[in-house]
Structure 1
């Protein structure tokens, strides 16, 4: 059975374009273009709102999705995503910015380079994924999931599920002011169950792979 990649919903603001959370972005773009190309397009000339949910995409991808929507006669007025709300003028990077982003995509990012920054708490039931490094300026609550292709840095308490280094980057690390995850993974390694250690408030810790096992230590003692 075919699973739709994109969902359209009518709202008072116009056509709501809902992007799925876990599908390949190239398939999403193709499906969006195909659906908007169908005959009897009642929405032509109307307004559109792009809803990314908790999916993190770079400015380049955001601009491509915007271009597809407007190519088919819709006026994109805003984008809703893990970053909050962006109005249309914030979605159109310059040609130079797009070229720079595409160049960065071809180069392996160093620490924090090209990181996705999320300025809010991730709540239970929410899932955030970044293709590179992910920085969260807030807490990750129990029942929430944060995933990244690179490092995960939480400027707050990490109490949900964290998976860094997707799918096989064993050099990735997880850092938090308070590291108490329900589950912790780096690449294909899963951490042991919590050991019941008593931690002081706001003592930054770092988790990394050593000799095939995830170890957690003081961020300062680790020399990073």
Structure 2
């Protein structure tokens, strides 16, 4: 019968694979046995601490069961958990990831005092009045009329961008960086890219320069800009 906890060496260190079909009590017992064996082997060798990746396979572990793994490791001074990795996720986490990776089309009026929060990328077709706020977790593509506050990369992602005409906006934000705009700002046109540069300061470019501004994003969209 295969052990419910098996040690495996990787290029990055060590991982312990837990049998996702075994009874949990058997898994915990096998993990204790394995760690005791490793402790005996390292007692006469290196005393360097070892952090393990724990692979749980197709079993979805609860917070209590994850805590039990941490508790078992706490009995062994030289061993610790680097991370616990599962091949499955909860429905809630799945929904969050899908929302974050989706492009949402938003065609509405955001009035003074209103704050709209959206995860993922947003194609904005509506209007933001002065005092209104659109707060987005991903990138924002502006085809509407912005007179309020618009933010991409909420709360602190500086690799996101605002693309489009926001010259009438009160304020633009990327992550934690922000700038108040005024009537003298000549840097913004309908093809403007608002982004955070290498100095962690808000900067402005043109869509045709997107390859230089954000090569990763440029490659994600196929490396083609239609002007």
Q: Aligning the two structures, in what range does the TM-score lie when normalised by the shorter sequence?
A: 0.3 to 0.5
Tell me which protein shows more helix as a share of its residues: 2
Instruction: Name the larger-Rg structure.
Output: 2
TM-score, normalization: structure 1? 0.46
Q: TM-score, normalised by structure 2?
A: 0.45
